[in-house]
Structure 1
Amino acid sequence: MESVPPRKSHYRKLGPWSTILAGALLAGVGLIGLVFPLNSASQGAESDVWPTVMGTVTVSQVESSGPKDDRSYYPEVKYQYDVEGKSYTSDRINFDLAGTRSSIRQEMTDVVDQYPAGADVKVFYDPSDPSQSCLEPGVKLGTGFLLGIACVGFGGLVILSGLVTWIRG
């Protein structure tokens, strides 16, 4: 019986330094995804103790963007409110670190249905800058935030793998 030589792979294994670099890039992308929403997270955390006023929803509809085969839906909810005799408008529903978007229209319709046009709403506003407001106080950890954490974690594991390979020599 004739022996068959092993097949050569067309793929090259990454060396330890390349693995470490790839892990660092992945973790870096994850960190960028976590750092950019920090200001929003800070405001969201503070919004739990912001004063409130009553406002009125002026626009409430589902909007879409993107090509027909990859459409993304998001709620467009605008509201008006007055603080100390000055009128403000805003469209911030909450401090969702990922933003409120979905490929499923019904999910965004459910959000919009909570805030029908003409409805009275409780508006939470920043006392140091009343133009900053929201309808739902607190921070929401959306999928983008969780994806950032996953990238940092997986990147860390790839770095660890590269270090182990390098140490074993």
Structure 2
Amino acid sequence: MTKQTMPPWQYGLGVGFAGLLTVGGAAMIIFGVNFVQEALAAKQWPVVAGEIKSVQIIREVDRNGSTRVETHHLKITYDYQMDGNAYTGDRYSLGDGSTASKRFNERSKAIAEKNKYPIGSAIDVFYKPTEPSLAILKPGVNFGTAVPIILGFIFLSTGLSLLILVIRN
């Protein structure tokens, strides 16, 4: 059998693309590890009393071909004060951003969850000591904080596999 070789432009393109995937994957892993470390550190952030200002039910519609899936989740806005400065936050956790609840397929379940957060009620707010404007309601690691690491490993392994394949050819 004769081994088939690639033209130089294909080889260069393959190595470049594989390198991009590999470097991008490694960068995502580094970012992800830092993100998880910050999420773990958030459990030790100072806590201040906050007040719920608004709770919205956000409706999202995803279309997958002819299938239409409707989900609902909460977005909470809260105020808090630190060292005489007033802040407004809407971040629920480091991995979930402003999504304050799991996604519900039924609006009635989202309404029931919303009723747990009456406007004007007190809530614990965790704030970053070096940046008090960064605050969350739920500290710790969740699936959202692990996503960059997972994607990073997928990109890194795909890039390395492609690089090995291109070099062998």
Shorter-chain TM-score bucket reads 0.5 to 0.7
Q: Which residue number corresponds to residue 49 of structure 2?
A: 54
CA offsets, 1:6-56, max 9 Å, x none? xxxxxxx78554433232232344345456667755543431211101212
Decide which of 94, 104, 107 is 1:106's aligned counterpart: 104
Deviations 1:107-130 (A, max 9, x none): 797789276242422111122332
Question: In structure 1, what residue type is equivalent to 2:82?
Answer: V
Which digits, 9 at most, give the CA deviation of each residue in 1:90-139, with x for residues without a partner?
0111111x7577xx951797789276242422111122332111111124
Alignment partners' CA distance in 1, 2:22 and 2:106: 31
What corresponds to 1:136 in structure 2? 138
Query: How far apart, in 1, do the equivalents of 2:93 and 2:103 lie?
Result: 19
Match of 1:7 in 2: none
Identity of aligned pairs, percent? 22
Separation of aligned partners in 1, 2:80 and 2:40: 21
Moved more, 134-143 or 150-159: 134-143
Between structure 1 and structure 2, the one with the greater Rg is 1
- Give the alignment's TM-score, normalised by structure 1: 0.63
User: Cα RMSD over matched residues?
Assistant: 3.9
Alignment of 1:69-88 (within 5 A): 69=63, 75-88=74-87
CA contact (8 A) 1:74 1:100 kept: no
Q: How big is each residue's C-alpha offset from its partner over 1:49-87, in whole Å with a ceiling of 9 and x where there is no partner?
A: 11101212212223356x874788664221111223332
Structure 1 residue corresponding to 2:21, chosen from 12, 22, 26: 26
- Could you tell me which amino acid in structure 1 is paired with residue 117 of structure 2? P
Paired residues, number: 149
Show the counterpart of 1:127: 129
Equivalent of residue 151 in structure 2, options 135, 140, 147: 147
- Name 2:92's counterpart in structure 1: 93
Query: Is the 8 Å Cα contact of residues 62 and 74 (structure 1) preserved in structure 2?
Result: yes
Q: Alpha carbons of 1:50 and 1:107: their partners in 2 closer, same or farther (altered >3 Å)?
A: farther
Gaps of 5+ in 1: 1-12
TM-score (structure 2 length as normaliser): 0.63
1:138-159 per-position Cα deviation (integer Å, ceiling 9, x unaligned)? 2434274122321122111111
- SS of 1:48's partner is helix
Corresponding position of 2:67: none
